[in-house]
Chain A
Amino acid sequence: MEFSEYVAARRPRLIRTAVLLGCPEADAEDIVQTTLAKALRSWHRVAAASAPDAYVNRILVNVLHDARARRWRGEIPTLDLPEAASADPDLAAGLAVRAALQELPVDQREVLVLRFWADLSERDTAAAVGVAVGTVKSRTSRALCALAELLAAADPTDTGDRHAR
């Protein structure tokens, strides 16, 4: 695949991935530009890889780590999410998920976003974040539980009777 084709097909998705991973929306395009520039330099390797998306997402994760260390001095700034429009339940739910993702530890957030949004396999997720496949599995399990608890805690309709069922 030519690099220009890849960029046209993947750029919007990469921006969403960056934001879900914790990048402020205002910085996401810059982060993705840096990621794509790095991927371009190694394009002959990326294009030859069995999973180019995994390769590029690994670059994105590393770029975000560097940005956190240099610009944001640790945790990302708290995202200023808009108030959910009560008429749009999907929008409300999506914003609630984004708020919950912010509350998760970085390593749990990463595996959730890479596995269930970027749709990487466990093996490719492990390569992207630099851990063993077993670690991805255990982190995913903990992250799913943590996300469920955060969403339940944030849900005004949740009466807390779930555990009693």
Chain B
Amino acid sequence: MPADDALTHDDARRLLRLAADTIDVSNVADAPLTPASRWSRDRHHPFAIAAAVVVLLIGGGLVWKGFDHDAGPPPTEPRNTGPVPTVLGYERDDAVELLEDAGFIVTVAGINGCGPIGYATDTVPGTGRSTTDGRVTLRYVQAAPPNAGCDPGAPSLLGLELLAFARGVGPAPPFADQVTLIVDNGRPRTVAGAKLADAVWWRSNSALGPLRRAAGQTRPGSGDEASQVPALASYDAESPVPVCDAPRPRRIGGQQAHRLAVGFPDDLCTVTIDLYGDLRPEDPKASVIDTVVANSGTPARTYGRSVVPMVAGLGLQEARDQLAMSGFRFRVVRDPVCQPTGVTATRPAGGTRLGIGEQVIVHLETTDSAC
């Protein structure tokens, strides 16, 4: 089209304004949706659950009824009977929105459990399962278990906020003015923090996409079981896993990364986002991220051979870490005895050269209940 025939931006604004002025909104009321706010923010509040909120739009002739979960969506909305999507890593309200947007009727149940308070744990029916009536119960952590200890490695608030940002349902994490970014062992780049706060920029730069996709993955369960979802963990990582991860930036020195990892237990490499800076994993607002090292879970080296490490006598977790750092998958075989001593042997034995990615059997002594 010839340049002199094209509309300018000012032309477009003027024309759209003229078009908008032909739309009559004179009968639209200013009535706020305030009563619904209490319901939406505190879905488990007895008043909110019991109350049906009615807002009359004066003059518009339209009655909108805010509904509690069990009343169901308006009749014109289709219901979904499955499969139930994963809610891994979602804050309670976001998980409810995800499920309702998918067409389910959602009931919320708080439980005492390990994991960050206010975040979803699972659904009933479980991920990948179907419902008969379109109803799903979302379970979330409302308090820590009173007596039991929780395993370390539950995702931190900083990690979960990063995941929410990657999914487009949360604000950007607290980036410094200038951030060093390394993606999949690529060249380090210095990026303005303001640019990193733009979710669209991340999408086209392939840094958080793998995180979002990994967290949304499911794998079929066996038989009638719910689908498997990946593990989501946060921990302080001292050193990168050589086969999988990019090398640490030199200027980091001995600083530990706060790592968010997503993956299935039998995957050789998982998606990891290593954050460096002045970090408070449970208080994101007080943190400042100045370096991000992202790995999409593709092994940095998939060829060659490595040596099976000597892990006899170690605890199981340490043995797993050593094997993973050497590039091997592993499977644990439990040997019941009266006085267990931990890991006793591997097959192949320590010192054997093996192809990267191959499986090592770990023999672990456990307590025999007959003793």
Contact = CB atoms under 8 A, between A and B. Distances in A.
A64 interface: no
Nearest to B204: A132
B7 interface: yes
Nearest to A49: B171
Interface stretch (B13-21, B182-190, B319-327): B13-21
Interface string B21-43: 11111001010111011001100
Nearest to A84: B22
Contact of B16 (A12, A117, A133): A117
Contacts of B28: 11-12, 15, 29
Interface in B81-105: 93-94, 96-97
Contacts of A145: 1, 5-7
A56 interface: no
Interface stretch (B59-67, B121-129, B150-158): B59-67
14 contacts: A3-B32, A4-B32, A11-B28, A12-B25, A30-B62, A33-B62, A37-B36, A41-B93, A45-B170, A91-B22, A112-B12, A116-B13, A119-B13, A123-B200
A45 B171 contact: yes
Nearest to B62: A29
Contacts of A36: 33
A51 B64 CA distance: 27
* Residue from B6, B7, B11, B57 having most chain A Cβ neighbours under 10 A: B7
Nearest to A3: B37
A48 B171 contact: yes
What range describes how many residues of B lie at the interface? 35 or more
A7, A29, A71, A145 interface centre (most CB from chain B within 10 Å): A29
A41 B60 CA distance: 24
A61 interface: no
A151 B23 CA distance: 19
A133 B198 CA distance: 11
Given A3-B32, A48-B171, A145-B6, A33 B15 contact: no
Interface of B: 1-2, 4-7, 9, 11-13, 15-25, 28, 30, 32-34, 36-37, 40-41, 57, 60, 62, 64, 66, 76, 78, 93-94, 96-97, 169-171, 197-200, 203-204
Nearest to B78: A70
Contacts of A33: 62, 64
A69 B169 CA distance: 23
Secondary structure type dominating chain A contacts: helix
A20 B16 contact: yes
A3 B33 contact: yes
Given A33-B64, A117-B20, A132-B200, A97 B15 contact: yes
Interface residues of A, number: 58
A1 interface: no
B20 to A, nearest CB: 4
B32 A8 contact: yes
A144 B7 contact: yes
Given A42-B94, A50-B197, A94-B19, 16 more contacts: A4-B32, A7-B32, A29-B62, A37-B36, A37-B66, A38-B97, A41-B96, A44-B41, A48-B171, A94-B20, A95-B19, A123-B200, A126-B200, A144-B11, A145-B5, A145-B6
Contact of B19 (A3, A44, A98, A148): A98
A133 B32 CA distance: 34
A25 B15 contact: no
